[in-house]
Amino acid sequence: MTPTIGGVETSPIPVAGSDGTQQTGRQATALRRTLHERGLRMTPQRQLVLDAVRALGHATPEQVCTQVQREAPAVNITTIYRSLDLLERLGLVRHTHLGHGAPNYSVHEHEHVHLVCHGCGTVTEVTPDVMSGLTERLATEAGFALDVTHVALSGHCRACRDRDDR
């Protein structure tokens, strides 16, 4: 029988592809274990949300929802919010505020700092070590332990600076 989610037919939940691009197999096991360690349950929705964040790089809950619904149209936006929240508490994803107000989720693998261009909205990533000097200064001068990855830095990217004649 065709599997369903929320009473609506969906594609089978992907499990280990033979083409090498399907990444759900081994990682699904990892997610399951992480959940079970805390007495939580593995569900297709949670896997789909994690996969979506992974596929999109960084995305708003809205964008994650759209991505998930390509696979499973019946998944509700509520579940997206709840899953993102859960995955974040599990340390698997992380959110930053890229200005405006839309929170932005990304997988918590390689730590990075977000640079958001005010001109074109592009998000660039740089390694956290550009912040090292600042981190130390804030620690000594203000006693402040900087969380390098949580909030993005705003400014203008090279392209927009050129376009704006400066």
Please work out the total of residues on this chain that contact DNA, with binding judged by CB under 7 A. Answer: 32
Using CB under 8 A, pick the residue from 16, 118, 120, 163 that binds a copy of itself: 118
How far, in Å, CA of 116 to CA of 98, rounded?
A: 7
To a copy of itself, the closest distance from the beta carbon of 149 in angstroms equals 9
The answer to whether residue 97 forms part of the interface with a copy of itself (CB under 8 A) is: yes
Instruction: Assign 115 to helix, strand or coil.
Output: strand
User: 13, 42, 77, 131: which one contacts a copy of itself (CB under 8 A)?
Assistant: 131
Q: Which two tokens stand for residue 164?
A: 């704006």
How far apart (Å, rounded) are the C-alpha atoms in residues 39 and 117?
A: 41
Q: Which does 11 bind (CB under 5 to 8 A by kind): DNA, a copy of itself, none?
A: none
Kindly calculate the radius of gyration of the chain based on its CA atoms and give it in whole angstroms: 19
Residue 151 identity: V
CA distance 115 to 70: 29
Could you say which of DNA, a copy of itself, none residue 42 binds, taking C-beta under 5 to 8 angstroms by partner kind? Answer: DNA
Partner touching 26 among DNA, a copy of itself, none, CB below 5 to 8 Å by kind: none
Counting contacts by CB under 8 A, is residue 134 touching a copy of itself? yes
Other CB atoms within 10 A of residue 73 CB: 12
Encoded amino acid at 98, one letter: L
Other residues' Cβ atoms within 10 Å of the Cβ of residue 149: 19
Q: For a copy of itself, which residue of 18, 37, 41, 147 counts as binding (CB under 8 A)?
A: 147
Choose the binding region for a copy of itself from 1-9, 27-35, 55-63, 117-125 (rule: CB under 8 A). 117-125
Chain contacts with DNA (rule: CB under 7 A): 4-7, 32, 35-36, 39-46, 60-62, 72, 74-79, 81-83, 85, 101-103
